[in-house]
Amino acid sequence: MEKFEQRLTRFLYSSCYEIFGTILNSIHNHFIPQIRKATEKKLDHLIFLGAHAVMQTVAEAIFDLKGPRGTHFYLEHFVDGDEPDLKFSTISDEIHEIRNIVAHSWLSKCLHQITFNYEIAKGFCLQDNGWLNINPNIYYKQFENGYRANGPIWNYHVLVSEEELTIHKYKFLCLWLKLDKSNPIYIKIINLEKCSSSEQIARQEKHIKELVISEYKLNQ
């Protein structure tokens, strides 16, 4: 594994695509296999917890989207299939809520209306009584498809401009470095969003890099 200073230097001096490529490759190599194991053993809640962690990480880091908006965006662009029962973004609120309940409260009346069923031939279906059936196996297969060779996740850049990605790169660095809001580096990074041109962003970037190099004593 890279030393902290090595990784920070790589992130700082490389393009925005380097940092997001690192995130996606790490998820593909380390996180997806764990969710796969949970699926093989039918560990329903761990499947949805793991998938949620991936969705929120990618949505926030790359697209600056949090919470339910991030879940819906991720499902729509990287998980949904062509058939109606594979368009999991249409039940994104329910999928997001599953994670919230399992992670924070465990018991809720909501889960009395959602069932995990590996036997149904569809990704999900709504019963006459209003209950939602989800097949975790199909859900996972659709989720994993996003990371296949030439899968949609690798074309994330078509959904966001390079200028936005540059800003998001530095906002992710704020999280990665766990910077306090009073930190001068944090303040400079947040001010990137006020830039109205790529030239202004480049000038602000220069100041940010200088501050990071000084703060963490990096070799230039």
- Of 8-12, 56-60, 96-100, 163-167, least confident by mean pLDDT is 96-100
pLDDT band per the 50, 70, 90 thresholds, residue 111: low
| Full-model pTM | 0.93
Residues 144 and 167 in one domain: no
Residues 168 and 129 in one domain: no
Residues 105 and 136 in one domain: yes
- Report how many domains make up the chain: 2
DSSP 159: G
119, 143, 158 - which closes a domain? 158
Continuous segment of H or E residues that includes residue 134: strand 132-134
What number is the average pLDDT over the span 98-108?
A: 70
pLDDT at 103 over 90: no
Q: 28 is in which domain, residue-wise? A: 13-158
Contact (CB, 8 A) for 136 and 47 = yes
pLDDT tens-digit map of 131-184: 899 999 999 999 999 999 999 999 999 999 999 999 999 999 999 999 999 999
pLDDT of residue 105: 64
Which tokens in the block code for residue 208? 């940010």
Residues 150 and 113 in one domain: yes
Residues 166 and 154 in one domain: no
Concatenated DSSP letters of 71-127 = HHHHHHHHT--SSGGG-GGGGHHHHHHHHHHHHHTS--GGGGSEEE-SS-SSSEEE-
